[in-house]
Amino acid sequence: MKASTKRTLLSFFVVVIGMYALLAIQLAGVGEGTLDENHTEVLQVRDLMSPAQFTLLDSYAVTGNMSGDIERGFRASITGITSADLDSNGAFQRGDSLAASLESAVDFVLENFGNEESNWVPGPESVKTRDFYLYPMSIDAQDQYVDSARLVMVSPANQSLYYFWLKF
């Protein structure tokens, strides 16, 4: 066999092995996990809700997804905020009077988020009541189909806060 043929075959095998190694590294980071108090999204919501205080109770996150899907969320207890605060804020919408786009985003997120261990996620019908206030951080849609939403849901009466970011 010629030396140039050997070099070509060796280069081919190095490229193939490199691709498999890269794939193995990428797949090693895929899986379900949780968010902690210092996660960027937890800190963003903490800033949004300031001066109210909250304590992280539950969370769920899928990491390392190669398709670009995002699935993150958490539940927290919150103190120092009232319905009157959220009514006067202007950025929050009460759950029983949602705009159509926000109502679609609520359905999209709450019907698709989590796994069997995410029993802390409220149902859409409980969120679409006067007890909840919603803040849409972002909603993306293709035609009328929501394919990404970042939502903050607050129930001052229950001292509960929920955050979700779901993208398919």
Domains in the chain: boundaries:
1-31, 34-167
Q: Where does 34-167 sit in CATH, by number?
A: 3.40.1000
- Calculate the average pLDDT of the chain: 87
The Cα–Cα gap between 103 and 87 comes to 18
CB 55 within 8 A of CB 76: yes
Neighbours of 136 (CB within 10 A): 18
The Cα–Cα gap between 138 and 166 comes to 10
DSSP 5: H
For residue 15, what pLDDT is reported?
A: 73
Kindly report, residue by residue over 122-149, the tens digit of the pLDDT.
999 999 999 999 999 999 999 889 999 9
Q: Using 50, 70 and 90 to split pLDDT, how confident is the model at 39?
A: very high
The Cα–Cα gap between 110 and 106 comes to 6
Q: Using 50, 70 and 90 to split pLDDT, how confident is the model at 20?
A: low
Q: Using 50, 70 and 90 to split pLDDT, how confident is the model at 2?
A: confident
Least confident stretch, 58-67, 127-136, 145-154: 58-67
For residue 165, what pLDDT is reported?
A: 95
